[in-house]
A and B are shown apart, each in its own frame.
Chain A
Amino acid sequence: MSALLEVRNLTKRFSSGGGLFRKARSMHAVNNVSFDLPKGRIIGVVGESGCGKSTLARLILRLIEPSGGEVRFSGEDLLAKRPAEMRCLRARMQMVFQDPYSAIDPRYTIARAVSEPFTVQGIKPDGIMSNTVAQLLEMVGLNPGLSTSYPHQLSGGQKQRVGIARALALRPTLLVLDEPTASLDVSVQAQIITLLEELRGEFGLTYLFISHDLGLVKYFCDEILVMYLGRIVEFLPATGAAARHPYTQTLMDSTFEPDPKRRRTIEPLLGEVPSPFDLPPGCAFAERCPHATSICRVEMPILLADGEHRTACHNPI
């Protein structure tokens, strides 16, 4: 069976600066990313700020145009679609954004925000609409009475539920979730994550879940993609799989557990993520890597498969 979403060599280059006296600099926000997302699965994309995970999400929905590569959704080549065709397809693939405070127009009532997808798709909101809005709000655990409220009257968690209701309005098959709980309290995060679990069961949804929190991704997802500076450095076919890339291992070691008996004694990684404008020729992680050898600084490791597991490292653990 072919995957619901196939991403091949997806690349996005941004350039910055440039002018009369300065050359423009360019960087690869997403570099040669390929993966398959089978129907009904949850893939988590994890990495630190600037690793390109949010850009990847936007590229997949074609909210920004890729510089190269291919995205196939249900076998259809998204990058070949005209804007009108793309709009039709987006009814089946939706996104939930990180910041619920800015994702909803502050001048819209909740009812209008939730019914916006119908307007965009040219489905006229009439008598049945208020019923549909009420159903959608109930589906995400909100009181339908909130439909006449404005976003500023809602808490962060409630707003994120509105964001999810809006994304589900047209019954999509794929939901791209870009850090949907990053700005929420942990108890609200737990509510949203359990809601997403329930909705997935109910509607057979497929999720691409973007997060900086490896602990959360391990809990919520089936498979994990680890990104570092625009590239996939490791693909874990199961959340329990042991890390082979030293960067993944570092992320795992840096993810604290709520258990005082299991305090971390490891030496934390030195240094920080280098500037994406000025990448070393070899492995981007080499400067911070405890396992780095001379080859790591000259030759970029490619993503090699060992069964389902894929790692881009010269000296895997």
Chain B
Amino acid sequence: MSILEVRDLGVAFGPIHPLSGVNFSIKKGETLGIVGESGSGKSLTAMSIMGLLPLFGGRITSGSINFDGQDLTKLTDRAWRKLRGGRIGLITQNPMTSLNPLQKIGPQVDEVAILHLGMSRAQARTRTVEILGTLRIPEPEATCNRYPHQMSGGMKQRIVIAMALAAKPDALIADEPTTALDVTVQAQIIRLLDDLVKKRDLALVLITHDMSVIAQTCDKVVVMYAGRAIEQGPVATIFESPHHPYTQALIGCIPHGLAENERLNRIKGTVPTVMNYPKGCPFHPRCPRAATICSTTQPQFASVGESSAACHFVIGDAS
């Protein structure tokens, strides 16, 4: 039974439609990766799930976001306030800007349990100290009395994770949680998130531009390009036998772990901006397999083996 299910999500900012046709679902204890390059719509998907689009002047134009039986697209502001930061937590990219620089760490984390779980200050602090401890933050009690500027980037990101966990969420949305961090710290945070998903039976939506992070952590993947999901499936299938030419090309662009004689793949052209999304398949101007139909007709999602792809000329389609 899925805890979060997104169906045919479409988003508009005035006359511009930067996101359309996004579908996925996730169970508790599962990690779903959403991967794509800048401008592919992955952060917009996160904002839609968190109900934050109106803040930026956007709105959901089609589809539904079903969270544990309720359609999030129809929630009132009041209902959102209970859910957001409560049952669905958000971890953002930049821990330097997600924390209040003028407030000590303790009260910032306490606030979540006070607001969402109705705890007293003292109860909330006990809980905060406990959570900081499980996140392997040294000296949790002393940390509560520090200000964000006294902590390193990796520690600040742990505090942001602690805030997301404080209200006992069912689902976490992590938008590029390790992009601003050094590799050794990234490895720590990824490991931490992985443990949390398993121990607390969380549903984690991990949004990243980094295919290697996806390969290390996720169960399922959605690959996005130019505001659309173009391929999705189990992580092993996506990396072993990608069916969409873009997925295949993107994996070929990663320099990590290539053998001596392997060379990087070069995708010609550039990612289209939202003002000039091509007609038909958004990838066709850059695609080595493109034919006339690709420039006229938007390909529909069709299942290929264990995964599914939106392409007229799917790679490795036996049928």
Chain A contacts to B: CB under 8 angstroms: 48-49, 155, 157-158, 185-191, 193-194, 212-216, 218-220, 240, 250-251, 253-264, 268-270, 272-273
A187: which of B182, B256, B267 is its contact (CB, 8 Å)? B267
* CB atoms of B187 and A258 under 8 A apart: no
| CA gap between A188 and B254 in the complex, in Å | 11
* CB atoms of A257 and B257 under 8 A apart: yes
- State the Cβ distance, B186 to closest chain A Cβ, in Å: 7
* CB atoms of B212 and A273 under 8 A apart: no
* CB atoms of B271 and A187 under 8 A apart: yes
- State the Cβ distance, A236 to closest chain B Cβ, in Å: 15
| CA gap between A190 and B262 in the complex, in Å | 13
Q: Which residues of B contact A215 (CB under 8 A)?
A: 212, 254-257
Interface contacts beyond A194-B263, A264-B216: sample of 9 additional A-B pairs, CB < 8 Å, sorted by A: A185-B209, A213-B255, A250-B184, A253-B187, A254-B184, A260-B239, A268-B184, A269-B184, A273-B182
B266: which of A191, A218, A219 is its contact (CB, 8 Å)? A191
- State the Cβ distance, A292 to closest chain B Cβ, in Å: 16
| Known contacts A255-B256, A272-B152, A187 near B250 by CB under 8 Å | yes
Q: Which residues of A contact B252 (CB under 8 A)?
A: 190
* CB atoms of A263 and B155 under 8 A apart: no
B97 interface hit (Cβ, 8 Å): no
Q: Which residues of B contact A212 (CB under 8 A)?
A: 182-183
Bitwise, B178-219 to A at CB < 8 A (1) or not (0) is 000011111110110000000000000000011111111000
| CA gap between A157 and B268 in the complex, in Å | 12
Q: Which residues of A contact B186 (CB under 8 A)?
A: 254
* CB atoms of A190 and B266 under 8 A apart: yes
A186: which of B236, B250, B257 is its contact (CB, 8 Å)? B250
Nearest residue in B to A157 (C-beta to C-beta)? Answer: B270
B155: which of A157, A240, A272 is its contact (CB, 8 Å)? A272
**Chain B 244-295 residues near chain A, CB threshold 8 A:** 249-258, 260, 263-267, 270-271
B256: which of A194, A257, A261 is its contact (CB, 8 Å)? A257
B37 interface hit (Cβ, 8 Å): yes
* CB atoms of A186 and B215 under 8 A apart: no
| CA gap between A222 and B265 in the complex, in Å | 20
* CB atoms of A194 and B266 under 8 A apart: yes
* CB atoms of B213 and A256 under 8 A apart: yes
B38 interface hit (Cβ, 8 Å): yes
Which one of A49, A158, A255, A260 has the greatest number of beta carbons of chain B within 10 Å? A260
* CB atoms of A259 and B257 under 8 A apart: yes
* CB atoms of A193 and B264 under 8 A apart: yes
* CB atoms of B185 and A256 under 8 A apart: no
* CB atoms of B249 and A193 under 8 A apart: no
Q: Which residues of B contact A270 (CB under 8 A)?
A: 188
Q: Which residues of A contact B255 (CB under 8 A)?
A: 189-190, 193, 213, 215-216, 218-220
B216: which of A194, A218, A220, A263 is its contact (CB, 8 Å)? A263
* CB atoms of B184 and A251 under 8 A apart: yes
| CA gap between A186 and B213 in the complex, in Å | 13
- State the Cβ distance, B139 to closest chain A Cβ, in Å: 13
| Known contacts A48-B183, A212-B183, A186 near B253 by CB under 8 Å | yes
- State the Cβ distance, A285 to closest chain B Cβ, in Å: 11
| CA gap between A254 and B210 in the complex, in Å | 14
| Known contacts A186-B37, A269-B188, A254 near B183 by CB under 8 Å | yes
* CB atoms of A185 and B239 under 8 A apart: no
* CB atoms of B215 and A48 under 8 A apart: no
| A-B residue pairs, 7 tightest by C-beta | A215-B256, A257-B257, A219-B255, A256-B212, A190-B253, A254-B187, A48-B182
B183: which of A157, A188, A214 is its contact (CB, 8 Å)? A214
* CB atoms of A260 and B215 under 8 A apart: yes
Q: Which residues of B contact A187 (CB under 8 A)?
A: 37, 249-250, 253, 267, 271
| CA gap between A220 and B250 in the complex, in Å | 18
- State the Cβ distance, B217 to closest chain A Cβ, in Å: 8
| CA gap between A263 and B182 in the complex, in Å | 19
* CB atoms of B211 and A258 under 8 A apart: yes
| CA gap between A186 and B253 in the complex, in Å | 6
| CA gap between A187 and B213 in the complex, in Å | 16
Nearest residue in B to A186 (C-beta to C-beta)? Answer: B253
| Known contacts A185-B271, A191-B266, A256 near B216 by CB under 8 Å | yes
B235 interface hit (Cβ, 8 Å): yes
- State the Cβ distance, A45 to closest chain B Cβ, in Å: 15
- State the Cβ distance, A53 to closest chain B Cβ, in Å: 12
* CB atoms of A258 and B251 under 8 A apart: yes
- State the Cβ distance, A263 to closest chain B Cβ, in Å: 6
- State the Cβ distance, A130 to closest chain B Cβ, in Å: 25
B154 interface hit (Cβ, 8 Å): yes
Q: Which residues of B contact A214 (CB under 8 A)?
A: 183
| CA gap between A27 and B282 in the complex, in Å | 51
| CA gap between A190 and B268 in the complex, in Å | 10
Q: Which residues of B contact A250 (CB under 8 A)?
A: 184
Q: Which residues of A contact B258 (CB under 8 A)?
A: 219
Nearest residue in B to A240 (C-beta to C-beta)? Answer: B260
Q: Which residues of B contact A186 (CB under 8 A)?
A: 37, 209-211, 250, 253-254
- State the Cβ distance, B305 to closest chain A Cβ, in Å: 16
| CA gap between A43 and B306 in the complex, in Å | 43
Q: Which residues of B contact A194 (CB under 8 A)?
A: 263-264, 266
Which one of B37, B211, B216, B264 has the greatest number of beta carbons of chain A within 10 Å? B264
* CB atoms of B38 and A258 under 8 A apart: no
| Known contacts A255-B183, A256-B215, A261-B236, A189 near B253 by CB under 8 Å | yes
